[in-house]
């Protein structure tokens, strides 16, 4: 496995090879990422993983400086799951000048849910992913469904800008108790970690209510939020949406329920397709 820190090294390493399958990450890898890398490996051809903590998608009060940088450990794990090339540029390499050209995804998809609580987040994500695509020039890119809205925003970007890459979803990896794997789980204290699976359980509760024939989505959402609040969480949203575009659903639409909530200082997100 090679590690390229510059775009020039990356291009040299990829020269003459078939276009790779690509898994963009911010490092601090866990089993959820490794599952995406294995999935990329199954597609045949080279597998490129990028590791870049993207300042553009952090708000001033968020954890950019605190975000764990664990390159050596990440590389060991990536090698073990068949990654061929790691692209790990530093900020000066990817943003040699302030990044003033940016991708602005549509408000109706990107300013709701995560975008409402993290303004500018998807501008930062789209901008860096477009740039990474230009560097890596992949045939396929895999994004986990754990970040459901991110997946849809990026799929839309690729479609509307006619980027020559296929965007493929990866399933959410979960701990045995149901907690969706996330780099942020590492911030949880022992008691918080024990409580954390309640977010996934709240989503299951929403699913059960629909199965039982309840139809008032606002009531179901409010009840899930109230349950989380009673347990000490501070929920940002629990929201039932149309899977295809995250708009308010009409009868018969395939649904996804998405949630974001703070447990102590740690903000967790999760979702469930229903």
| Sole binder of ligand PAF in the list 24, 32, 89, 115 (CB under 6 A) | 24
Binders of ligand PAF among 47-76, rule CB under 6 A?
A: 54, 57
Q: Considering only CA atoms, which of 87, 94, 71, 75 is closest in space to residue 11? A: 87
What's the min distance (Å) between Cβ of 206 and ligand PAF? 24
- What residues numbered 88-117 form the site for ligand PAF, per CB under 6 A? none
Q: Binding residue for ligand PAF (CB under 6 A) from 4, 10, 13, 26? A: 26
CA 94 → CA 124, 128, 170, 202, distances in Å? 13, 9, 26, 39
Q: For residues 189 and 37, is the Cβ–Cβ distance under 8 A?
A: no
Of 4, 14, 128, 158, the one binding ligand PAF by CB under 6 A: 128
Unique residue bearing structure tokens 């789209």 = 126
| Residue 161 DSSP class | T
User: Is 274 in contact with 207 (CB distance < 8 Å)?
Assistant: yes
Q: Which listed residue (75, 83, 110, 125) binds ligand PAF by CB under 6 A?
A: 125
User: Site for ligand PAF (CB under 6 A): which residue of 40, 129, 196, 261?
Assistant: 129
Residue choice 21, 25, 103, 272 for contact with ligand PAF (CB under 6 A): 25
Verify whether residue 33 is a known catalytic residue. Answer: yes
Q: Residue 94's closest CA among 59, 126, 57, 53?
A: 53
103 or 188, CB closer to ligand PAF?
103
- The nearest distance, CB 132 to ligand PAF, in angstroms, is 8
Q: Which stretch binds ligand PAF (CB under 6 A): 99-107, 123-131, 218-226, 245-253?
A: 123-131
| Angle between helix 121-136 and helix 7-14 axes, rounded to 10 deg | 50
Using alpha carbons, select from 3, 58, 50, 7 the residue that is nearest to residue 27: 50
**For residues 111 and 144, what is the distance between their CA atoms, to the nearest angstrom?**
20
Q: Which stretch binds ligand PAF (CB under 6 A): 22-30, 62-70, 75-83, 161-169?
A: 22-30
Question: Which residue from 256, 257, 216, 263 is spatially nearest to 235, judged by alpha carbons?
Answer: 263
Active site residues: 33
Binding site for ligand PAF (CB under 6 A): 24-26, 54, 57, 125, 128-129, 147, 150
């Amino acid at each position: 496995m090679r590690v390229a820190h510059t775009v020039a090294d990356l291009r040299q390493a990829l020269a003459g090879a078939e276009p790779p399958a690509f898994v963009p990450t911010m490092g601090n890898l866990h089993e959820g990422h490794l599952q995406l890398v294995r999935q990329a490996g199954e597609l045949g051809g080279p597998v490129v993983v990028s590791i870049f903590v993207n300042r553009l998608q952090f708000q001033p009060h968020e954890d950019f400086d605190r975000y764990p940088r664990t390159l050596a450990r990440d590389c060991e794990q990536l090698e073990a799951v068949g990654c061929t090339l790691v692209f790990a540029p530093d900020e000066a390499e990817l943003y040699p000048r302030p990044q003033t050209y940016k991708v602005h995804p549509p408000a109706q998809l990107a300013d709701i849910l995560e975008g409402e609580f993290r303004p500018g987040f998807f501008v930062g994500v789209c901008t860096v992913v477009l740039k990474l695509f230009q560097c890596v020039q992949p045939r396929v890119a895999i994004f986990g469904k754990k970040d459901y809205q991110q997946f849809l925003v990026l799929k839309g970007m690729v479609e509307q800008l006619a980027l020559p890459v296929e965007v493929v979803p990866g399933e959410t990896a979960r701990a045995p108790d149901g907690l969706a794997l996330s780099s942020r789980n590492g911030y949880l204290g022992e008691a918080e970690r024990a409580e954390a699976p309640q977010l996934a359980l709240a989503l299951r509760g929403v699913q059960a209510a629909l199965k039982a024939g309840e139809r008032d989505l606002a009531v179901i959402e409010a009840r899930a939020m109230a349950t989380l609040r009673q347990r000490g969480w501070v929920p940002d949203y629990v929201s039932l949406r149309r899977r295809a575009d995250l708009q308010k659903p009409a009868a018969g639409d395939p649904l996804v329920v998405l949630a974001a909530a703070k447990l102590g200082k740690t903000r967790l997100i999760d979702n469930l397709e229903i």
